Each structure stands twice: as C-alpha cells, then as structure tokens.
C-alpha cells in the first residue's frame, strides 16, 4: 500500500498515486490486457522469476489453480488450465526461454523447486484478475546477473529479449 511504498515521502506518495492511477485509467479504457510488474532480484540463479500470486509450495505441488492466480481471466477466457497459462508453451516463461533466457514457471521449469521465488504482491494483487476484472498481471523479477553483473551490453540484450517475449505473450493471448 501507499504507506509502505512511499515511506511518508510526499513526492513518493504522488508518484505512487500517478503510477496506479495510470494503470487504473488504462484498465477502464481497454477491455482486457496484462499489467507487467517489473522488478529485479538477486537470488543468484540467473533466472527470471514470474509471479502469478501462487506460492512456491503451490507450484512445487503442481497446484496451478488459475482461480487463485493473477491470470484468472486469461484462463477463463481461453478455457485453458492454470498450468497451461502459467507454465505452458504460450506462457511468458516459454517465450522468455525461446528468446534465450531462463525463466520459471516455464515448460522447462514449471516450479521453483528449492530456488527462492517471489510470487508477486501489491501491484499484481491490485491489477491482476484474481479478485475481479479482465486485466491480468504478472510479476517479472529479473536476475541480477543480466541487470548488473554482466554489464551494459548484456542488460540491453536482455531488455530487448524481455520486450520481445512480452510482445509475443500478449499477441498469443490477448489479441
């Protein structure tokens, strides 16, 4: 929420309101879509973690309950299973791996296993379809290895691959 995000800073509060207000406005104008909540993580596995509000335990048990996920509307609209939407061949993880970068959930790695994993939080909860609406949301936690450690050229290459992957996912699932 705003108090945690802004830490009492007036400028940060205004930025938070504008950020979420912009997303809310886009959701009102469009009939469906997906919000990407982009972050970085330093779990040292060189793999992008994709969060759908499902816990590590759920994914490790094979419980891809789309009704509890941030992509509930996508699963309902397409009639596909939660596992297919989250870790199947038209999932964001599949496209990221096709473009040369490890990700999970994906067909190659449908669950975190023993790896640290962030399932998404406030933005994914607020803007995803778990509780209501026709907009889905995915947390994209990019690895330190491609953001910082490997330098600018790798960061640019990864950014291009991530952008392409998001576009492929969108075109396959939302048009």
Stretches in the chain below the pLDDT threshold 70: none
Instruction: Quick: pLDDT tens for 118-146.
Output: 999 999 999 999 999 999 999 999 999 99
Looking at residue 6, its pLDDT comes to 86
Which distant-in-sequence residues (6+ apart) come within 8 Å of 114 by Cβ? none
Cα–Cα distance for residue pair 141/102, rounded to 1 Å: 12
Cα–Cα distance for residue pair 60/77, rounded to 1 Å: 25
Across the beta sheet with 48-51, the strand order is 33-41, 135-143, 48-51, 103-104
């Amino acid at each position: 929420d705003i108090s945690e995000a802004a830490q009492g800073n007036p400028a940060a509060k205004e930025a938070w309101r504008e950020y979420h207000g912009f997303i809310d406005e886009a959701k009102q104008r469009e009939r469906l879509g997906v919000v990407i909540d982009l972050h970085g993580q330093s779990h040292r596995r060189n793999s992008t973690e994709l969060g759908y509000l499902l816990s590590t335990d759920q994914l490790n048990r094979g419980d891809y309950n789309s009704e509890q996920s941030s992509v509930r509307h996508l699963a309902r609209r397409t009639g596909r299973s939660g596992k297919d939407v989250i870790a199947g061949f038209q999932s964001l993880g599949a496209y990221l791996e096709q473009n040369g970068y490890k990700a999970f959930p994906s067909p190659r790695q449908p669950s975190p296993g023993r790896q640290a994993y962030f399932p998404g939080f406030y933005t994914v909860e607020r803007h995803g379809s778990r509780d209501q609406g026709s907009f889905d949301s995915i947390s994209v936690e990019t690895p330190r290895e491609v953001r910082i450690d490997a330098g600018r050229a790798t960061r640019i290459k990864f950014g291009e691959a991530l952008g392409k992957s998001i576009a492929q996912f969108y075109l396959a699932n939302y048009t």
